[in-house]
């Protein structure tokens, strides 16, 4: 089964179903597309995080990777010109204050646009979470920077100030997470990263914020769906949530 099975958009269907989905693609693929999404047409997608501080280059959310790997010399020169030599990507977190972030104002603007759902990046490939995740100690928006639960405010505002469905983006991989790099080195035969990082974080997002849309993404097309326990997670999602 190809990895792309887990990269696509998953819609969280919150009506009670009598069908019991099994953790295999034959069963999971029988799940119907929610009618509201099929008719939504327009949605809004927001990239917001530590990378918003440098906000540099054509794909700001990949800034750390480009700078670290020196794969984009524009990023390297930008840092040399604007920051001291020992400045690290982690130092940007304290500057990510989100002082102008007003979730209710966002919701009102989104609602006026005619959009039917909005998706917020809860965690990109740098591993920084916009909610107080237990799997991201001291590397989340509640511990450093804004000192706020951005995902919580976003979800609550959409439901209070708009008719939009709540969507949450979550990147499965993290470029420099030691657990991920260890699993990657073993050709994804180990699953420590999935067990201690990916799965707990996904369960937190679903249980705490109850999104109608879960957008699961990857930084690199590596690792089979079985490594990420995709089928087991989706069966739980469709059956229990």
Instruction: Give the tens place of pLDDT for each residue, 35-69.
Output: 999 899 999 999 999 999 999 977 899 999 999 99
Q: What is the pLDDT of residue 5?
A: 44
Angstrom distance (rounded) from CA 5 to CA 215: 12
Alpha helices for 98-240 (secondary structure H): 103-113, 150-161, 178-185, 192-193, 199-209, 230-240
Q: What is the pLDDT of residue 12?
A: 55
Taking the CB of residue 136, how many other CB atoms lie within 10 A of it? 22
> Average pLDDT over the chain, rounded to whole?
91
Taking the CB of residue 216, how many other CB atoms lie within 10 A of it? 20
Domain ranges of the chain: 4-47+101-240, 50-95
Q: Is the pLDDT of residue 95 over 80?
A: yes
Q: CATH topology for 4-47+101-240?
A: TIM Barrel (3.20.20)
Angstrom distance (rounded) from CA 132 to CA 228: 22
CB 121 within 8 A of CB 167: no
Q: Give residue-wise pLDDT tens across range 1-16.
A: 444 444 445 555 455 5
Q: Is the pLDDT of residue 76 over 50?
A: yes
Q: Give residue-wise pLDDT tens across range 146-200.
A: 999 999 999 999 999 999 999 999 999 999 999 999 999 999 999 999 999 999 9
Q: What is the pLDDT of residue 161?
A: 96
Angstrom distance (rounded) from CA 60 to CA 54: 8
Angstrom distance (rounded) from CA 116 to CA 172: 25
Q: Give residue-wise pLDDT tens across range 100-140.
A: 999 999 999 999 999 999 999 999 999 999 999 999 999 99
Q: Is the pLDDT of residue 145 over 80?
A: yes
Mean pLDDT value of segment 234-239: 96
């Amino acid at each position: 089964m190809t990895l792309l099975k887990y990269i696509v958009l998953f819609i969280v269907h919150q009506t009670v179903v009598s069908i019991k989905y099994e953790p295999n693609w034959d069963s999971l693929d029988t799940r119907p597309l929610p009618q509201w999404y099929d008719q939504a047409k327009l949605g809004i997608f927001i990239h917001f995080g530590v990378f918003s501080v440098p906000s540099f280059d054509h794909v700001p959310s990949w800034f750390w990777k480009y700078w670290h790997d020196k794969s984009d010399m524009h990023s390297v020169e930008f840092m040399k010109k604007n920051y001291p030599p020992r400045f690290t990507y982690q130092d940007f977190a304290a500057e990510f204050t989100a002082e102008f972030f007003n979730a209710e104002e966002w919701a009102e603007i989104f609602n006026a646009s005619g959009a039917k759902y909005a998706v917020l990046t809860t965690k990109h490939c740098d591993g920084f979470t916009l909610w107080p995740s237990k799997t991201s100690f001291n590397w989340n928006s509640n511990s450093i920077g804004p000192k706020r639960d951005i995902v919580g405010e976003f979800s609550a505002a959409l439901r209070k100030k708009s008719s939009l469905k709540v969507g949450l983006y979550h990147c499965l991989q993290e470029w420099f997470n030691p657990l991920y790099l260890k699993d990657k080195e073993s050709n994804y035969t180990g699953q420590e990263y999935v067990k201690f990082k990916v799965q707990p974080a996904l369960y937190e997002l679903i249980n705490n914020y109850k999104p109608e849309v879960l957008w699961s993404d990857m930084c690199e097309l590596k690792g089979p769906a079985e490594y990420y326990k995709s089928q087991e997670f989706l069966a739980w999602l469709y059956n229990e949530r």
